[in-house]
């Protein structure tokens, strides 16, 4: 599967993240003669166990971070950070969880935007919003380099692409999300589980930013 790299926008000191930034990003991508193809949406949710009786000890995972992709509609991925696991399940798992009321959805972060094709690169640019309130938490970009499936091989290509693309941008820059995939027993060959881990980390990052 082609490797995807995630970047989030870091504004320079003094400027704020706003939806104007996202429009600027779209314009910049358009100016490179990319072809706009589809909308995309990724939902990342945080689940906490539903504890009815406070006295009983909790014998399950304290926190489930789930993520679904419109590109892979029949799957849902769960990350368990404490246990360092990435779990892949069928999409009906969500319905099951709701029926059983074992875990409840506490927070949801929605990533959505437009997808562009630029030669062998596929770029998704969009924003991250907290679902019920719809307030903007950040601007993100996902760069996918189609010919390569190995993380190490794609590093130089993708990072140089971002450098070239960001030449001359002054209000801030896109910072790459660097993750230690081996912690979660994921190999160098990229697949959906890597993507799930990346988006969940991004969600955690945005959530943590609000508290500061």
Residues that bind another protein (CB under 8 A): 1-2, 32-33, 118-121, 146-150, 152-154, 156-157, 160-161, 164, 187-189, 191
Distance of CA 194 to the CA centre of its chain: 10
Find the angle CA(74)-CA(77)-CA(83) to the nearest 5 degrees. Answer: 160
Q: Which is nearer to another protein, 157 or 207 (CB)?
A: 157
CB of 211 to another protein, least distance (A): 37
Q: Which is nearer to another protein, 131 or 147 (CB)?
A: 147
Q: Starting at the edge strand that comes first in sequence, how are the strands of the sheet with 64-69 ordered?
A: 85-90, 72-80, 64-69, 35-49, 103-118, 121-130, 135-145, 3-11, 172-176
CB of 64 to another protein, least distance (A): 23
Rounded Cα–Cα distance for residues 29 and 14 (Å)? 24
How buried is residue 178: exposed, middle or buried, by Cβ count under 10 Å (0-12/13-18/19+)?
Answer: exposed
CB of 143 to another protein, least distance (A): 11
Q: Which is nearer to another protein, 120 or 178 (CB)?
A: 120
CB of 46 to another protein, least distance (A): 27
Distance of CA 108 to the CA centre of its chain: 12
Q: Which is nearer to another protein, 1 or 169 (CB)?
A: 1
Q: Which is nearer to another protein, 2 or 11 (CB)?
A: 2
Find the angle CA(162)-CA(164)-CA(168) to the nearest 5 degrees. Answer: 105
Q: Which is nearer to another protein, 31 or 212 (CB)?
A: 31
Terminal CA-CA length for the chain? 36
CB of 190 to another protein, least distance (A): 10
CB of 67 to another protein, least distance (A): 18
């Amino acid at each position: 599967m082609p490797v995807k790299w995630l970047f989030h926008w870091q504004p320079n000191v003094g400027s704020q993240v706003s939806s104007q930034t996202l429009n600027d990003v779209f314009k910049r991508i358009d100016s490179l003669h990319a072809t706009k193809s589809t909308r995309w949406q990724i939902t990342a949710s945080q689940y906490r166990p539903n504890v009815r009786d406070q006295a009983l000890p909790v014998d399950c995972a304290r926190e489930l971070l789930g993520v679904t992709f419109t590109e892979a509609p029949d799957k849902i991925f769960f990350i368990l950070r404490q246990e360092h696991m990435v779990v892949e399940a069928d999409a009906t798992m969500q319905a099951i969880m709701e029926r059983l009321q074992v875990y409840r959805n506490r927070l949801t972060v929605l990533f959505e935007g437009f997808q562009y094709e630029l030669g062998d690169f596929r770029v998704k640019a969009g924003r991250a919003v907290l679902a019920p309130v719809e307030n903007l938490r950040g601007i993100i970009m996902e760069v996918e380099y189609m010919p390569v499936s190995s993380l190490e091989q794609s590093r130089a290509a993708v990072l140089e692409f971002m450098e070239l693309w960001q030449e001359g941008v002054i209000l801030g820059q896109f910072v790459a999300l660097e993750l230690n995939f081996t912690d979660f027993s994921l190999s160098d060959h990229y697949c959906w589980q890597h993507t799930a881990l990346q988006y969940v980390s991004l969600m955690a990052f945005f959530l943590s930013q609000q508290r500061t």
